[in-house]
Amino acid sequence: MPDENLLIDGVRVPRGIYGTAWKEDATERLVDLALRQGFRGIDTANQRRHYFEAAVGQAVAASIDRGLVKRDDLFLQTKFTSRDGQDHRLPYDPQAPIPLQVEQSFASSLAHLGVETIDSYVLHGPSQRVGLGAADWEAWRAMEAIHDSGGARLLGVSNVSLEQLQRLCEGARVRPRFVQNRCFAVRGWDRQVREFCAANAIAYQGFSLLTANREALAHPEMARIAQRHGRTISQIVFRFALDVGMIFLTGTTNPDHMRADLDIFDFSLEPAEVERIERLVG
C-alpha cells in the first residue's frame, strides 16, 4: 500500500523502521529476523557503545546474498556520534579535526554496512543542551560535503530541541530532512518539534514510543481504543504515530511483535481517537 512509504527527494522511506540500539551480539540475528518479517528500513549508528553497526551490515549482506532483498529495497540510516557519546571503541581519530572525524566515521560506516551510499546520515545529537556549538556546525558542514558527493542521500539530526532545530534550519546549506527524537506522551508526543517539522518539510521519526510511555499506554482509554479496533495497544500507538505524521521506530526482539508492528496499514484511527491519545499524559 502507498501508505507504507514516503518519497523524500526521490528516496523511498518506510514509515516503520527497525531500530538496532542495545542489541549487542544479537544484532545480526535480529536484523535478519526483522528483514524476514518485512522491515525494509534499518536504523543504526557508528557508536559501538550502543550499536553494533558491523553486525547490521552482516545481516544486510546475507539477506541480499540469499535473494531476500535487493540493496535498492532498503533504507539504511546511520549516524555520526561525537566523542562524548562514544566509549573507547572509536570509529575515528579523536585527535583529528571534527570534519575529518566525520569523514572517517562515514567511511567506516560504509565499510561496516557493505554499501556505497547511505540513505540517511544523521547527526546523533548536538554537543550541548542549548543552542548549537562550533563543533556541531563543523560536523554538519562535513555532512553537507558528504551529501554533496552523493555518499549520503539525505541528512538528519537526532535528540534535538525545537530551538536547536530552528537554528540548524536557519544556518544549514543542506537542511535536515529528518528529525529523530525520543517521543514522550507527557510532552505532547514532542508536539512542538513535530509541528515545526510538518511546516518545514522535515520527516519526524519517533523512537521509544512504547518504552518511554508505559504510564500512558496503561491508561484505560488506550485499552478502549485497542478493543474497538481489535488491535493491541502497541499497534494503536504505532498507528497513532502514522496518523499524526510520524515515522515510527521499533526495536522489538519478538518476531510476532515485528509482524504485528507492520500490520497497521489497513486501518486508521478516528480523528477523535487521535485527539484523545495526543492528550494522554499517563
* Residues facing residue 205 across a β-bridge: 180, 247
Q: What are phi and psi of 134, to 5 degrees?
A: -55, -40
Is the CB of residue 63 less than 8 Å from the CB of residue 32?
yes
Strands 41-43 and 203-207: unpaired
Residue 282 above 60 pLDDT?
Answer: no
Q: Cα(first)–Cα(last) distance of the chain, in Å?
A: 33
Measured between alpha carbons, how far is 81 from 157 in angstroms, rounded to an integer?
Answer: 11
Percentage above 90 pLDDT, the chain? 98
| Residue 94 binned pLDDT confidence (cut-offs 50, 70, 90) | very high
DSSP 125: -
pLDDT one-digit tens code per residue, 172-229: 999 999 999 999 999 999 999 999 999 999 999 999 999 999 999 999 999 999 999 9
Taking the C-alpha atoms of residue 125 and residue 67, their distance in angstroms, rounded to an integer, is 35
- Collect all residues with Cβ–Cβ distance below 8 Å to 142 and sequence separation of at least 6: 98, 99, 102, 103
The DSSP call for residue 129 is S
Q: Is the pLDDT of residue 74 over 50?
A: yes
- For the segment 27-40, the average pLDDT, to the nearest whole number, is 98
* Cell numbers placing 74: 532498503
Could you report the per-residue pLDDT of 236-255, keeping only the tens digit for each?
999 999 999 999 999 999 99
Any idea which residue has 539477506 for its cell? 63
pTM attached to this predicted model: 0.97
Tell me what the mean pLDDT of segment 19-32 comes to. Answer: 98
